[in-house]
Amino acid sequence: MHGHYQHAHTRAWATRIASFDGFVMVTAEYNRSTSGVLKNALDHLYAEWQNKAAGFVSYGVAGGARAAEQLRLICGALHTAAMSQQVTLSLTTEFEHYTTLKPAAHSATALDTLLDQIVAWSTALAPLRDASRAAV
């Protein structure tokens, strides 16, 4: 299902997002939320996010957990299934000098679980995506 968009750049973004069945959204935490750029990218589309799976990798002083929680709310409004597993990366323990990512072993394990969930949910939601496409 595609929305009807006026601008060419929005139509191109819609085509790109429509081509995927699931997503890993990576976000820093800014003022206890996700970035304005990511929020804007999500808000410019609607139909293309529906009946898909999304997982979150966040980073910040507190691992970006609050940004991921904001994304869960946004995904709910977009009818995107948010995975229960998430990866939270602390700037103080998993980034050398706050710039070079040096993830702990538990983060790699969490990422494996997250990716498995996205694949499983994307597969399970396929009939809903197919029904939406057929209805157009």
Query: What CATH number did the domain enclosing 17 receive?
Result: 3.40.50.360
Total count of domains within the chain = 1
Taking a C-beta distance cutoff of 8 angstroms, is the pair 13, 45 a contact? yes
Is position 2 within any domain?
no
How far apart, in whole angstroms, are the C-alpha atoms of residue 45 and residue 56? 19
Q: What DSSP designation does 4 have?
A: -
Domain that holds residue 18: 8-135
- Overall average pLDDT of the 49-58 stretch: 98
pLDDT for position 1: 56
Residue 1 lies in a domain: no
Q: What is the pTM of this model?
A: 0.92
CB atoms closer than 10 angstroms to residue 119: 13
Residue 3 falls inside a structural domain: no
Residue of 89, 85, 110 lying closest to 98 (CA atoms):
89
Share of the chain above pLDDT 70, in %: 99
